[in-house]
């Protein structure tokens, strides 16, 4: 199996859910993980803090640096990157996972929620990558992986929650732009998105409760897909919009039943697929 020993990975939103699952997967092969997230006191509805995630990462075999950072604040991003480099002497991989969601139509989307989604999903993703870039340029196999969907302009993806949709599509446009812009530096940039809903606090609390959780897959499917993407040579794996199950199929992993919360039960397709 590929090894991430001595590789340093900056993951936004890594205190829980998909971000933490990716961190734990990479930690199993010895990675250094920067847990860049806001949560320092646990919320019973969400679970996890940067400190509890760091303990799990270290127990899994990695090294962890928990850093409180709100990616809406550029100075906090800058300080987090500086602390990461001071601790681990560089950054090899950036995973843009942090995201805000609000599935409302135009009339019901308040300005503050619109701003929240764009400040985190778009501006935050841009600034995290910008400040990590000088160190990615020095890495032997640098990757940027952004958790966002393929762009599909069919109106059914636009008419129900346009503000959220375009914020996520902006993340994908950034990732594809970076694939072109950073190719000369041998920095890969790709996106990754799940084929089904994933059993996270957001799905439970905001989308469909326990019913939808039972029709979802575990975050580990996205983590395993990320592991294989990030294992590739940057020069030959860039500019792709990956779907988790397709990544695993390419690795000859076709039995995905173990990823289901309810093996054998129905699965709910992701809202963008």
From the number of C-beta atoms within 10 Å of its C-beta (0-12, 13-18, 19+), residue 107 rates as exposed
Contact (CB, 8 A) for 11 and 23: yes
Written as six digits, the tokens of 249 are 């199929």
238 SS3 class:
coil
d(CA 245, CA 253): 9
Q: Is 135 a catalytic residue?
A: no
Give the side-chain half-sphere CA count within 13 A for 248. Answer: 18
In angstroms and rounded to an integer, the radius of gyration of the C-alpha atoms of the chain is 17
d(CA 34, CA 25): 14
Q: Please pick, among 164, 169, 228, 259, the residue that the annotation labels catalytic.
A: 164
Which residues are identified as catalytic? 164
């Amino acid at each position: 199996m590929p090894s991430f020993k001595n590789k340093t990975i900056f993951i936004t939103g890594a205190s829980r859910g998909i971000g933490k699952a990716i961190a734990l997967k990479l930690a199993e092969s010895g990675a250094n993980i920067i847990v860049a997230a806001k949560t320092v006191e646990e919320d019973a509805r969400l679970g996890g803090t940067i400190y509890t995630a760091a303990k799990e990462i270290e127990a899994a075999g990695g090294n962890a640096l928990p850093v409180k950072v709100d990616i809406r604040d550029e100075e906090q991003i800058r300080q987090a990157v500086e602390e990461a480099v001071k601790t681990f002497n560089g950054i090899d991989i950036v995973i843009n996972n942090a995201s805000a969601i609000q599935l409302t139509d135009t009339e019901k989307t308040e300005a503050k929620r619109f701003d929240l989604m764009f400040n985190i999903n778009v501006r935050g993703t841009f600034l995290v990558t910008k400040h990590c870039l000088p160190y990615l340029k020095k890495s032997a196999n640098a990757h940027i992986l952004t958790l966002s969907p393929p762009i599909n302009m069919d109106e059914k993806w636009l008419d129900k929650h346009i503000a959220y949709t375009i914020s996520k599509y902006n993340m994908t446009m950034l990732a594809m732009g970076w694939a072109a812009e950073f190719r000369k530096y041998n920095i890969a940039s790709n996106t990754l998105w799940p084929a089904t809903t994933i059993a996270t606090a957001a799905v439970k609390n905001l989308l469909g409760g326990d019913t939808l959780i039972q029709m979802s897959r575990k975050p580990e499917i996205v983590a395993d897909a990320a592991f294989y993407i990030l294992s590739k040579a940057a020069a030959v794996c860039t500019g792709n919009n990956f779907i988790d199950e397709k990544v695993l199929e390419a690795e000859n992993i076709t039995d995905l039943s173990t990823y289901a919360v309810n093996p054998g039960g129905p699965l709910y397709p992701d809202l963008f697929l």
